[in-house]
Structure formats: C-alpha cells, structure tokens
Amino acid sequence: MPTKSPVIVDLKFIPKEVEDGLKGAFSGREVINLADPIHEGRDLSGIDYAVVWKSDPDLFSRATDLKVVFSGGAGVDHVLKLPGLPNVPLVRFVDRSLTTRMSEWVVMNCLLHLRQHHAYEARAKAHVWEDLSQPEAAEITVGVMGLGVLGQDAIAKLRVMGFKTIGWSRSKKVTDGVETFDEAQLDAFLGKTDFLVGLLPLTPETKGIFNASLFSRLSRKGVIGAPVFINGGRGGSQVEADVLTALRSGTLGGASLDVFEQEPLAKDSPFWGMENVYVTPHVAASSDVKALFVAVERQIERFENGLPLEHTVDRTAGY
C-alpha cells in the first residue's frame, strides 16, 4: 500500500483551535501545520493536499504538486487571489456548523435591531426604566441578498422567528414559500426591504454592490423608521464611505457589520462605537475547525476512491 500523501495546513485562525482541531484528525496521514516553526523551509513538493485560509504568500511556490486545494471557509475570494494558486480543483467548506453559525449571527442581529437593543442599553447605562413602542417581527420585511446555502438557511430561521422575508439573487432562485427577485428586479426587492441582509460571495458583480444608490432605494415606509444594513458576507461588497454617509444622514438607521473592505478594521475607523452599529471581527460564521478537517477528510477519501469532489468552486463565477 502506497504511503498516503501528507496534508498541508495553513490556516490563519486562532492557533490553539487549529492545534486542538488537528488532534485525531487525518488519521494515517502526516499533517504539516505551517504554524509550527519546525516546518520552516521544509520541502513541500510532492504533496497532494493543502487546507488554506489567508495562507502564506509563498505557499504555492513551495507546494508545487498539489492536486486539490481546500478553502478553510465558505467564501473563496481570499483563496482565488492567492499568488500562484494552481489550476486544480478548489473545494469550499460547506458545513452544517458554518451555516448554523451564520444564521445565529443573522437572526441575532435582526432581533437586536427589531428589539431596539441599542436604545435599551443606553437607557440601562443611564439607569432609566422606560418602555419604547415596539413593533413585532411580523411587521418587518427582511430582504436577504444571496440565496445560497447560507441565505436559504437564514431565511428559514428568520421566518420561524416571525419576520417577513424576501430574497434576491442575480439569477432567479425558487425558495419554498419565499418571494424571490432576480437582477432585473432589484428595485422592487429593495423597495420592500426594511432590514437588508448581505450574504453574497465576493465576485466582480458583487464588488461594491452595497453603495449609496442601493441604500437610497431601500424601503422607508417600515415601522422601524429607517432601513438597517446587516452584512455577513464580504467586506468588498460594501462601499464603506457610502455606508458611513448613509448612517450619518439617516438613510440607514443602523447596521451590523462583520466584514470590511480592509481587515482587520483600522484602529481609527469611525465604525467602532458608532451609535446603533454593531461591529464584529469577521466571526459571524467562524469555521468549526474540527468540522473543517472532517469535511476535508471526507473529500480526500472521495478523491482517492475516484469519486467526484463535492462543493468545488466555479472559478469564473467566483463561488
């Protein structure tokens, strides 16, 4: 029996979580975790697999014989831009855990804005007991842009919580019981949307799509006063100067931003601590590292048994 190819791991996650996740993973196969200085300068040629997230710039010039590259996350725009990415199958991480975590974040942020959490926290800080007029979820339409696995799961859970939901994707998608809109119907979609949730991949078509023009077309008829922008997709999809202007002018009444044009977000960014803006450091759907390695193992097993890989990326579409 031939020796199994090692797996290169180059994940810029929390190092301890990667180490813990690797315990017991890839049984019968060497793991080369590049976070470990012991591998510095090691010859990586002849190795078949790499699992990467924000990997070292010289990875692909060192690992010249990769047969499959695995992305450590659902989005692959970071991976597609890596210098020297070889022309081999690129596999996205599609995982129950990643999907449910994103929905946790989306539902929590829709509820934070619905339930006026910021206003109540300000009152608590001032020791003020005062109730505010409170719409219920059924009075709010959440418009989700991006109807992949993440968007569909978020919609299903928002509906259970009582929100009205509608969906948008470039090409029309049919989702059970949900009104959906395509590229040509963007205006109609925006005109109905009180809370806009972005779960789009970053592609040439979605770059900068969340801009002043789009924000100005959102519904202003909602019970909540002004529309809210919630982005759990990619920072490159938003024009941050426009988000800021819209928040300051009241075109947007609030925002939840997990992603930014430049990450980490600059120390002096005005988004930090803005009123009714929740900033999180790209953690909406952190990959569960153990689940990632289980998913990679399953795909490697398929690959070595001659079965087609699942969740491969269409590089032209960008997702």
Q: Give me the active site residues, please.
A: 234, 282
Helices (H), 96-251: 96-114, 117-125, 149-160, 186-192, 212-216, 240-249
Q: Does 265 bind its own copies (CB under 8 A)?
A: yes
Alpha-carbon 315 to chain mean position: 18
Stretch that binds its own copies, among 48-56, 109-117, 181-189, 295-303 (CB under 8 A): 109-117
Q: Does 53 bind its own copies (CB under 8 A)?
A: no
Q: Which is nearer to its own copies, 117 or 172 (CB)?
A: 117
Alpha-carbon 60 to chain mean position: 25
Residue type, 143: G
- 230 — phi, psi (to 5°)? -125, 110
Residue 70 β-bridge partners: 51, 91
Which run of H or of E encompasses 53? Answer: strand 49-53
Q: How far is the CB of 166 from its own copies (least distance, A)?
A: 19
Q: How many residues does the chain have?
A: 319
Q: Does 268 bind its own copies (CB under 8 A)?
A: yes
In three-state secondary structure terms, 292 is helix
How far apart CA 109 and CA 120 sit, in angstroms, is: 15
What's the Rg (C-alpha) of the chain? 21
Q: Does 112 bind its own copies (CB under 8 A)?
A: yes
Q: Which is nearer to its own copies, 57 or 281 (CB)?
A: 281
Number of residues interacting with its own copies: please give it, by CB under 8 A: 51
Q: Which is nearer to its own copies, 92 or 101 (CB)?
A: 101
Q: How far is the CB of 97 from its own copies (least distance, A)?
A: 6
Chain residues binding its own copies by CB under 8 A are 14, 16-17, 97, 100-101, 103-105, 107-108, 111-112, 114-115, 117, 120-121, 123-125, 127, 129-134, 136-138, 157, 160-162, 263-265, 267-269, 272-273, 278-283, 286, 288
